[in-house]
Chain A
Amino acid sequence: MADVVIIGAGHAGVAAAAQLHKRDANLSICLISNEQPLPYHRPPLSKKALFDELLPLELLQAEGFYQAQNIHLQRGATVTHIDRTQRQVTLADGQVLTYTQLIIATGSSLRPMPVAGGERAMGVYNYADIQQLGPRLQAAHNILVIGGGFIGCEIAAGALKLGKNVSLLVSGPRLLRKSIAPAMGEQVTQLHKHSGMHIHTNCHVSHLDDDGVHTNQGVFSGDLIIAGVGANPNIELAKQAGLTIDGGIVVDAFGQTSDTHTYAVGDVASMPLQGKTQRLESIQNANDQAQSVANNIVSHRQNEPARAYNPVPWFWSDQGDLKLQMAGLNDVSAEQKILASDSDTRMTAVQFSKGVMTGVDTLNMPGNHLAARKLLAMSVDITWDMVQDHNQDLKQLFKKLR
Chain B
Amino acid sequence: MTLVTFIQADGRSVDVQAKQGEHLMKLALDNGVAGITGACGGSCMCATCHVLVEQINGQLGAAGEMEVEILDMEVDEVFDNSRLCCQISASAAIESIRVRIPPNND
| A interface residue numbers (CB < 8 A to B) | 41-44, 58-62, 64-65, 68, 283, 287, 316, 318, 323, 325, 366-367, 370-371, 374, 395, 398
Contact = CB atoms under 8 A, between A and B. Distances in A.
Contacts of A61: 29
Nearest to A369: B69
A171 to B, nearest CB: 28
Contacts of A398: 73
Interface of B: 26, 29-32, 39-43, 45, 65-66, 69-70, 72-74
Given A44-B41, A283-B40, A318-B43, A62 B30 contact: yes
Given A323-B66, A370-B70, A395-B73, A59 B43 contact: no
Contacts of A316: 40, 43, 45
Nearest to B43: A44
Contacts of B73: 367, 370-371, 374, 395, 398
A58 B26 contact: yes
Contact of B41 (A42, A65, A68): A42
A366 B32 contact: no
A65 B32 contact: yes
The 8 A-B pairs at the shortest CB distance, nearest first, are namely: A370-B73, A41-B41, A62-B32, A366-B69, A366-B66, A367-B69, A316-B45, A64-B32
A58 B41 contact: yes
A283 B69 CA distance: 20
B30 A287 contact: no
A60 B28 CA distance: 11
Contact of A283 (B29, B31, B39): B39
A45 B42 CA distance: 12
